[in-house]
Amino acid sequence: MTPATLNLGDLVILVADPSSYTCTIIHGMLRGFGANKVLDAKDSLTLFRALSGQKIDILICDARLPANDSNLRKQGGGLALTRAIRRNVNNENRTIPILLMASDTRETTIKSARDVGANMVIAKPISPSALYDRLTWIAFNPRQFVDTTNYFGPDRRFKIEGYPGGVGRRKGDKVVEVAAETGPALAQDDIDNFFNKARTGQD
């Protein structure tokens, strides 16, 4: 299999994270991948401004991005923002791919990220290989969108059978036991594998 290559040239990438240093690092990685249009947002206000002012191709957002709106803040920052983007019928960026970055990778957080309409979750601290693989996965494995009364977002019933570049989980790999509801943080492989449960009817 020829490994998939990612062409990020001229794509507008919005990185939303409260820490300017994290933004700098992710910028560096994306530029290394060939991206030349990377924008920043530090909170929900700048995020929505960026989303309404121009066409964004992909959003990479921190799950705890500070929300300026008190309702969004109560519902959990970046997670609530993702839901708000997906729910807003007037937003032309409603269907953009959203990659959520999470420091807290407990099962409940990953489940919430999936259920608010995130395409994928990446665990912090982020490595260049993890970021490249997840972007590649989003680009080469398009999923249909589901619109119901309770959910708008990518179909949650999907299975990762290895990343397009030939790395990551393979068919024959051992199934990872997912931690209990309030259990410890999940590793990136476990986060990816977690989505598998929905497809097999276990969730």
Partner 1 sequence: MADKKHPEAHLFYVDTRFEKRARRPGGIPREKAIEMAQARIEEIRPGFDVWLDQKLQELSKIIRSAQENPAEPEWVDTAFFLAHQMRNVGTTMGYELLTYVADSLCEVFDEENFDSERNMNSVICHLDALLLSRQEQYRHLRPEQVPELSIGLRRVVERAASDGSPKQDPSAAAATRPGVKKNR
Distance CA 178, CA 174 (A): 12
CB of 108 to partner 1, least distance (A): 13
Shortest spacing between CB 193 and partner 1, in angstroms = 21
Phi-psi region of 14 (alpha: psi -120 to 50; beta: other; left: phi over 0): beta
- CB of 91: closest distance to partner 1 in angstroms? 13
b vs e for 33-65, b when ≥16 Cβ sit within 10 Å of the residue's Cβ? bebeebbbbbbbebbbebbeeeebebbbbbbbb
Nearer to partner 1, 148 or 175 (CB): 148
Binding site for partner 1 (CB under 8 A): 3-11, 18-19, 21-22, 24-25, 28-34, 55, 57-58, 64, 95-97, 103-104, 124-129, 131-133, 135-136, 138-140, 142, 144-149, 155, 165, 167
- Burial (0-12, 13-18, 19+ Cβ within 10 Å), 66: middle
To partner 1, the closest distance from the beta carbon of 142 in angstroms equals 5
Are the beta carbons of 81 and 74 closer than 8 angstroms?
A: no
Q: Which CB, 117 or 175, lies closer to partner 1?
A: 117
Choose between 127 and 175: whose C-beta lies nearer to partner 1.
127
Q: CB of residue 22 vs partner 1: minimum separation in angstroms? A: 6
Nearer to partner 1 by Cβ, of 68 and 175: the residue is 68
Name which of 5 and 200 has its Cβ closer to partner 1.
5
- Is residue 128 reached through a cis peptide bond, with omega within 30 degrees of 0 on the bond before it? no
Angstrom distance (rounded) from CA 175 to CA 186:
14
* Residue 192 and residue 169 in contact, taking contact as beta carbons nearer than 8 Å: yes
